[in-house]
Amino acid sequence: MQAMTRRAAVAALLAAASVAGPAPRVAAEDADRGATLFRYCTQCHGEQGEGNALALAPAIAGLPAWYVERQLEHFRSGIRGRHFDDIAGMRMRPMSLTLRKEGDVAAVAAYVASLPPADPEPTLEGDPARGQQLYATCVACHGADGAGNQQMNAPPLTGSHDWYLERQIQNFRQGIRGADPADTFGALMRPMAMTLPDDQAVRDVVAYIMTLPR
Amino acid sequence: MIERLVASASSYAPDIDGLILLIAVLVGFWFLLTEAVFFWLILRFRARDGQRAEYITGEEKSQKRWITIPHLLVLVCDIFIVVGAVRVWYEVKQHLPEAQQTVRVIGQQWAWSFVHPGPDGRLDTADDIKTVDELHLQKDVTYHFELTSRDVLHSLSIPVFRLRQDAIPGRVIRGWFRPTKTGVHDFQCAEICGIGHGIMAARVIIETPDEHAAWMAEHAPTTSLAAAAVR
Ligand SMILES: [Cu+2]
């Protein structure tokens, strides 16, 4: 409980620091710490967090800190990356467990958020026109521009690789992600993924997301 | 004796421990004896005033005996070790007792996953229970395991069972164990397999028949869910 409040305090401090303009020393030290911690992540996510298909690791640069933090916490607790068929998630889970000290997660998340978002090339065959119609369902949470919406807990979708988006939507559909009873946010997304009727629809909506401006 | 230091929980753990103890005692005996002789010689023939050093070629019978007799005795010890080792190797790795249950163990970067037969006792049916990080076993049941890897070399190493077996991608390796005590024990990949190797851990949970049945009842997919998963 105490740990929770302290973590909340750190998060609040960070948030305050980011609006308060000139960064106090605490935030500067935190940024250093985030950069140091991030060196470990570059093994898979790339020097600038631009992702690496061979390592199955998505682009994470520029994802909002609240989302990165939540995913790291989910990996750490096994809400994400502990499903029998989650090949990629099981590669990420042990990495999240290396963030052992209080405040590590917040520090690295803030650093990831500060990186310039990636702009990956499309690699999948899909029909963006059909995808646009299917994307109507997604607008309410992820926004018409795919920039995400913290109020709805929905992350940005632009700046991601299409293979990663496809895999996540399939993971949601198959209950590999978002099916854990403790995953309240995944539970919002899972039924939405179910509205996509088949594999081609998934590729189409992803193809449309790839056309959105970054 | 060894199980006092390292917990043990399989039918063949005492055999392995016995073998290790046999080797430790025989090798330890010769180690202590040779060290004692060595230091005794150093002391006995230490430099003394008025005594010249002598060069010994070691070709006389009385000198060669210092080598030949221990050599033959060590060879006799070797026979005990080899016979013991072959017996234990055959028991643990080569002979496969009839399986009462079969579990599948899958290594991947960087987690262990397991497929347990559900209440029907058979693998590859709708009621299989799939887990990550946790292997659930019933005490006093002879298990076969089918060990595979999804990517690179890993090694299944369960210290309480005194079992270690590499997992090789593209191969299904069959082996066996029989848990003899209830309890929860950690284990850990034992073959360098990438950046996450050091934290590729899992845990074996050995349960009484009642506990195991309860776990199974709680986790076996109901038929409708199983059908949904297959779809
Ligand atoms: Cu491994």
Give the Cα separation of B188 and B157 in Å (integer): 6
Cβ of B200 and A82 within 8 Å?
Answer: no
When scoring A45, A82, A87, A90 by the number of chain B Cβ atoms within 10 A, the one with the most, hence best to mutate, is A90
**Where residue B194 sits, what CATH number does that domain have?**
2.60.40.420
B118 and B24 in a single domain? The answer is: no
B123 and B214 in a single domain? The answer is: yes
B141 and B80 in a single domain? The answer is: no
Q: Which residue bears the tokens 């919002």?
A: A188
Cβ of B110 and A43 within 8 Å?
Answer: no
pTM for the model:
0.84
B122 and B224 in a single domain? The answer is: yes
B130 and B197 in a single domain? The answer is: yes
Closest-CA residue to A205 (of A170, A177, A153, A155): A170
Cα of B112 vs centre of ligand 1, distance in Å, is 8
- Comparing A26-35, A70-79, B103-112, the range with the smallest average pLDDT is A26-35
Q: What is the pLDDT of residues A11-20, one digit of tens each?
A: 444 444 444 4
Tokens found for residue A141: 């949470």
Tokens found for residue A103: 């405040």
Q: What is the pLDDT of residue B55?
A: 87
Tell me whether the omega of the peptide bond preceding residue A66 falls within 30 degrees of 0, making it cis. Answer: no
A:B CB pairs within 8 Å: 34
Q: How would you class B94 by CB atoms within 10 Å of its CB: exposed for 0-12, middle for 13-18, buried for 19 or more?
A: exposed
Show which of B77, B94, B111 is a domain's final residue. B94
Cβ of B132 and A83 within 8 Å?
Answer: yes
B88 and B163 in a single domain? The answer is: no
Identify which of A44, A87, A94 has the shortest CB distance to residue B150: A87
B57 and B111 in a single domain? The answer is: no
B222 and B161 in a single domain? The answer is: yes
B105 and B89 in a single domain? The answer is: no
Cβ of A90 and B109 within 8 Å?
Answer: yes
Alpha-carbon distance B199 to nearest alpha carbon in chain A (angstroms): 6
Residues B185 and B158 sit within 8 Å (Cβ to Cβ)? yes
The CATH number of the structural domain formed by A128-209 is: 1.10.760.10
Residues 18-47 of A with CB under 8 A from B: 43-44
Show which of B38, B67, B94 is a domain's final residue. B94
Q: Is A194 on the interface with B (CB under 8 A)?
A: no
> Which domain does B80 fall in, by range?
2-94
Q: Is A65 on the interface with B (CB under 8 A)?
A: no
Q: What is the pLDDT of residues B185-209, one digit of tens each?
A: 999 999 999 999 999 999 999 999 9
Residues 155-184 of A with CB under 8 A from B: 175
Three-state secondary structure call for residue A173 = helix
Q: Is A199 on the interface with B (CB under 8 A)?
A: no
Cβ of A94 and B110 within 8 Å?
Answer: yes
pLDDT one digit per residue (tens) for chain B, 231 residues: 788 888 999 999 999 999 999 999 999 999 999 999 999 999 998 988 988 888 888 889 988 998 999 999 999 999 999 999 999 999 999 999 999 999 999 999 999 999 999 888 889 988 899 999 999 999 999 999 999 999 999 999 999 999 999 999 999 999 999 999 999 999 999 999 999 999 999 999 999 999 999 999 888 876 544 444 443
ipTM of the complex: 0.78
Domain count, chain B: 2
Give the Cα separation of B204 and B156 in Å (integer): 12
Cβ of B110 and A84 within 8 Å?
Answer: no
Residues A169 and A202 sit within 8 Å (Cβ to Cβ)? yes
B90 and B120 in a single domain? The answer is: no
Class of domain A2-114: mainly alpha
Q: Is B79 on the interface with A (CB under 8 A)?
A: no
| For range A163-190, the mean pLDDT | 94
For CATH 1.10.760.10, the residue range(s) in chain A are 2-114, 128-209
Q: Is B229 on the interface with A (CB under 8 A)?
A: yes
Q: What is the pLDDT of residues A99-149, one digit of tens each?
A: 988 889 999 999 999 999 988 888 999 999 999 999 999 999 999 999 999
Residues A129 and A142 sit within 8 Å (Cβ to Cβ)? no
Cα of B41 vs centre of ligand 1, distance in Å, is 50
Alpha-carbon distance A85 to nearest alpha carbon in chain B (angstroms): 9
> In what order do the strands lie in the sheet containing B129-132?
B129-132, B111-116, B101-108, B143-149, B173-177
Sign, CA dihedral A83-A89-A92-A96, equals negative
Sign, CA dihedral B96-B102-B103-B108, equals positive
pLDDT beyond 60 at A24: no
Helix axes A128-142, A199-211, angle to 10 degrees: 80
Q: Which residues contact B162 (CB under 8 A, 6 or more apart)?
A: B8, B10, B12, B13, B16, B17, B92
Identify which of B109, B132, B229 has the shortest CB distance to residue A91: B109
Give the Cα separation of B108 and A209 in Å (integer): 32
Show which of B76, B94, B112 is a domain's final residue. B94
B136 and B208 in a single domain? The answer is: yes
B26 and B132 in a single domain? The answer is: no
